[in-house]
Chain A
Amino acid sequence: MRRIKKEAIEKKLKELAKDYRIFAPMNGDVKETGGEFEECFPRLSGKCAFLPPEEEILRYKDGKVEETPEDKPIILFGIKPCDARAISLIELAMRDEKFPDVYFLRKKEKGIIVSIACKEPGDTCFCTSFGHGPFSTQGSDALLVEKDDYYLVLGNEKFFKLFGEGEEAREEDKEYFEEAKKRAEEKIEKIPIDNLGEKLLSRIEDPVWEKISRKCLNCGACTFLCPTCYCFDIQDLERSWGVSRRRYWDSCMFSIYTKEASGHNPRPTHRERVRNRIMHKFSYYPYLYGEFGCTGCGRCVVYCPVNFDIREVLKILGGSG
């Protein structure tokens, strides 16, 4: 563990803005800033740095297809550990053997993620359910813990090379870290997830799905704010110079998500779509990649217009609610 003066990190971040694209929470959402950041729990999560809501992937210009050139490397700074974890979860899906998602991966490879630990978790957080928590380092190149005018830092080489090493942490720092971690973790609800993947699969035709999905409006609020959701749609746009092929955030909640050219829709109602979302995150993801596709950030709970609460739903489906 090291300790670095807050001022030093903030100054360095502004300097790095010359050669890097800085994404950080600002005014309540993660966005591209010139090195400024706010300590908060942002609404739009860190995924927008590596998977933006609108991204050009190639263009057709002067009779030729051109790959979109690579941009400056990204520093994603000041997000919460749950968001940093979420990006590493998206990476599991993007690292497909046959069809790796080049656009995401090349940004991620050159990028740096710095998270700030959650000393005051929210009422809707449940990140500890997945074996990690408010002080998790998974997915981050560095985890910062605020202590007076210093940050205590657990980081890797990549981070220290850019931001400097500061000093060795003192005993009292390590104690403070453990204390704060314990206190934060205690505040967070742990929902039971043992064998959840298998349990869900065994209940896939259960009539309970109709009951729990009834109130879902099938808007896209949860999916767009979710730090682990990564579905996208591709469309070609005419421009004065040719055609731009872009990808956009898409949502499995939209009724047209699985609508086929014939008009047939294999997920015609809210029941199938809600079931699919839950199965994907809590059954298919652990089956395919060994990890749940959810970090327990709680955004879907806070921003759902009808208060669809995934924590309650998982308890019911897992047989304990």
Chain B
Amino acid sequence: MIERIREEARKAFEEGKIEILIGFGRGTLRATPIFIEKKEDVDKLIWDDTCWINLATYLRRFRGKKTGIVAKGCDARSVVALIAEKQLKREDVYIIGVPCQGMKNEKGEEFLSCRYCEYPTPPVYDVLVGEKREGKKENYPDVSEFESMPPEKRWEFFSEEVKKCIRCYACREACPMCYCEECFADSLDPRWLEPGLSLSSLQFWHLVRAYHQAGRCSDCGACERACPMDVKILYLTRKLNKEVRELFGFVTGLDPEALPPLGTYSTEDKEEFIL
């Protein structure tokens, strides 16, 4: 697979399709993002099961340049989501699609978002460097399991998890969809939530961050993996992805022309919750 990635990258440079390529290189502890500007450097590219960062998060930094990206399924869906939100132009991004085998942490355990991954193969790409892979067909069993717990237990779980948070915002910066010039958490006027580590402000941060991902998140899991304090957050974003699918029939990142679900409506939307 890696030879094909390098070959496609080399071709893309030779044919003038890209000015800069974002991919994975060998880091000191695991795969690390690298930025290649010369075709001679494509041999630095690697591919293994530590490539868990979502590289789409860097794309907006190179707007205006023809940018290539080595994208696994979830990364490619984030790229499509960014295009759908008009953050990037489709013609400025060259996607080298990699059907993903799943990523593992330093103990060799599979990540949660990989265990339930439905789109290991990029749905949109300029070139695909391997055989398409089938995803899992289950519809968020982890979320259903959480939903089956009684409400008090769910609140307790939520509170205990967020108490570990130190508000370093690694989750926000690792996420390709968190690109606001001013994040609501940093706003001083209005100051929506207090700074610091009080339980209510930690709950506020995580609830609203998950809310802002609804219909935009590609379930890549980079947020939870970036967290230095091992706070669980995927169960929140995955719930909202499930809701968006069930309520609006929308899956993030499959169609660059599709309007984001909260940016559109249907006259037939369900309204059981309305009094």
Contact = CB atoms under 8 A, between A and B. Distances in A.
Whether A associates with B in a native complex is yes
Interface of A: 43-44, 53-54, 124, 211, 214-215, 217-221, 223-225, 233, 235, 237, 246, 248-249, 251, 254, 256, 270, 301-303, 305-309, 311-312
Contacts of B27: 306-307, 309
B57 A43 contact: no
A207 B194 CA distance: 39
B225 A302 contact: no
A54 B168 contact: no
B53 A248 contact: no
Given A302-B29, A307-B30, A312-B28, A219 B195 contact: no
Interface in B63-119: none
B5 to A, nearest CB: 18
Given A44-B166, A251-B168, A302-B29, A217 B195 contact: no
| 8 tightest Cβ-Cβ pairs between the two chains A and B | A305-B226, A307-B27, A219-B170, A217-B173, A219-B173, A54-B196, A220-B168, A303-B228
A221 B228 CA distance: 7
A215, A248, A311 interface centre (most CB from chain B within 10 Å): A215
A237 B169 CA distance: 21
Contacts of A219: 168-174, 226
A146 B198 CA distance: 37
Contacts of A251: 168
A237 B196 CA distance: 11
B28 A254 contact: no
Interface string B107-149: 0000000000000000000000000000000000000000000
B57 A217 contact: yes
A53 B53 contact: no
B174, B196, B225 interface centre (most CB from chain A within 10 Å): B196
Given A43-B229, A306-B53, 10 more contacts: A44-B166, A54-B198, A217-B170, A256-B182, A305-B170, A305-B173, A306-B27, A307-B29, A307-B31, A309-B27
Contacts of B61: 270
B166 A301 contact: no
Contact of B166 (A218, A224, A312): A224
Contacts of A311: 28
